[in-house]
Amino acid sequence: MGKQSKGHAIMISVPYQGHINPFINLALKLASKGFTITFAHLEFVHQKLSKAHHSGNGTEVDLFTEARESGLDIRYATINDGFPLEFDRVLNFDEYWGIILRDFASLVDEFVGKTIQSEPFIVPFLVTDAVFYPWPATIADKYDIVNVAFWTQPALVFSLSYHLDLLREKGHFPCKDNVEDEINYVPGVESINTRDLMSYFKEDGFPIILYKTLPLTFEGVKKSDFIVHNTVDEESDILSALNKYQPNYAIGPINFSKNLTTNSISKSLWSESDCTQWLESKSPGSVLYVSFGSFVHTSKQIIEEIAYGLLLSEVNFIWVIREGILNSGDTNHVLPVGFEDEIKDKGLIVPWCDQITVLSNPAVGGFLTHNGWNSTVESMWCGVPMISYPIAFEQVTNMKLVVDDWKIGIRLCDHGMSVDRKIVAEKIKSVMCGGSISKRLRQEADKVKTVMRDALETDGSSKRNFDQFVEDLEAKIA
């Protein structure tokens, strides 16, 4: 039999792609350190994964079969959230998330109780996404187990949320529309303008449920024993400033690993189209990859401006047109009539792809992105400059990091949301077609790529932090 387990991590994943990907990778990382893992997806996520990865033959996925075959002690479970499978948890996010934060605790409580009983000789602890709080702290308290919060976004967003009382005191939470103030009083945060704050910091912001629940969530996070972050220490001094309150560890970029072949795990909620052959027919750096992630949606008019902007730029592109990309809910008439005929071999439209594989392809020279944090980090890992088009959540804050701080991207629209096809074409050309902007971005993107990769090297910051986290965790649960 294998070695003795260091402890039993009970992990419950937030049911959205941008949280699922890093969370699975955290599970693998912990398992590779000798922890037993019970990893739970919500039932509807499990059904979506099964459909995406085994459509047709009726087989259900077990995410971790290969990981187990390679010796990791990792089990897969599902929990029902009490909603019908067909309930749209994206379109009805406000209603869904409100109920999840309030009522999901009792279902998880039962699951945690049973999981602990199933392994009476291994010390259990709880690992959940930080956005699930406050209930993880309550459950950990009930079973008297350690709880670890996983923050999947940049430390900057974490710190602003952590210091909500301070922002409230200064009149910046809730944040008012059309006010542009400089915030330079948050520990570790050099400076951020109020226009770059997360969309849910506004009273009438989006999504409203996050504006309402954020204070409670962060009160809960403050009760966690450890917080791990999908970023690198090199992001800023923020985490060292936070360490005087609680132990924080930057262990990113979590979606990449030196040893684990995480790509063999079925993570995508939609079937992936293979873009490799098409990419191989294109010259290095000539393709713009366009995707707005798994969650946010936009208007038909904006899609149209981007479509014609792409055509006008004459640049090669792959565009992910995901189911649900339109805020009208229309799934049939997303692109302008005739657009797909017009692009000929210049463009490839796919419903979903393996983004990391696409970004890693040498043919890709730019990423028009909504700046979800995973997409941002994946682009940084691959050294691909970005054109930022944030839509909601913390994406505008991520754009500030990318454009103003790290200088590895440009804004699609300078301020406000209006998108014009001529400007789209101009911005695309400035990133993709040589020129001084393109050169400068590429130089900076190369530097950032090195920082990201070095962080996971033997003596890299994230490697050291993860080892330290494991050591501290072991000491705490001993």
| Region of 70-78, 131-139, 154-162, 371-379 interacting with ligand UDP (CB under 6 A) | 371-379
Q: Is 231 in the site for ligand UDP (CB under 6 A)?
A: no
Smallest gap, in angstroms, from Cβ of residue 393 to ligand UDP?
7
CB atoms within 10 A of CB 362: 14
At residue 189, what are phi and psi to the nearest 5 degrees? Answer: -95, 115
Q: Per CB under 6 A, does 378 bind ligand UDP?
A: yes
Stretch that binds ligand UDP, among 156-164, 230-238, 279-287, 288-296 (CB under 6 A): 288-296
Q: How far is CA 334 from CA 192, 319, 324, in A?
A: 36, 12, 9
Is residue 13 at the binding interface for ligand UDP, with CB under 6 A as the rule?
A: no
Q: What are the beta bridge partners of residue 41?
A: 78
- Contact between 269 and 45 under an 8 Å Cβ cutoff? The reply is yes
C-alpha distances in angstroms, 144 versus 105, 115, 139, 199, 224?
16, 14, 8, 36, 12
25 belongs to the binding site for ligand UDP (CB under 6 A) = no
Residue from 317, 373, 389, 406 in contact with ligand UDP (CB under 6 A) = 373
- Tell me: does residue 268 bind ligand UDP (CB under 6 A): yes
Shortest distance, position 91 Cβ to ligand UDP, whole Å: 15
Q: Which of 47, 45, 7 is nearest to 23 (CA)?
A: 45
Asked whether 383 and 360 are in contact (CB, 8 A), the reply is no
Map the footprint of ligand UDP across residues 336-365, applying CB under 6 A: 352-356
Counting residues that bind ligand UDP (by CB under 6 A) gives 20
Stretch that binds ligand UDP, among 5-13, 15-23, 43-51, 82-90 (CB under 6 A): 15-23
Residue closer to ligand UDP (CB basis): 139 or 380:
380
**Does the protein bind ligand UDP through residue 319 (CB under 6 A)?**
no
Find the binder of ligand UDP among 12, 79, 311, 320 (CB under 6 A). Answer: 320
3-class secondary structure per residue, 109-169: HHHHHHHHHHCCCCCEEEEEEHHHCCHHHHHHHHHCCEEEEEECCCHHHHHHHHCHHHHHH
Cα(284)–Cα(113) distance, integer angstroms: 53
**Contact region with ligand UDP (CB under 6 A), list: 87-95, 219-227, 294-302, 416-424:** 294-302
130 sits near ligand UDP (criterion: CB under 6 A): no
Give me 5's structure tokens: 């387990």
Neighbours of 328 (CB within 10 A): 10
Instruction: Specify the residue, 233 or 378, whose C-beta has the smaller distance to ligand UDP.
Output: 378
Can you give the binding site for ligand UDP, defined by CB under 6 A?
17-18, 21, 268, 291, 293-296, 320, 352-356, 372-375, 378
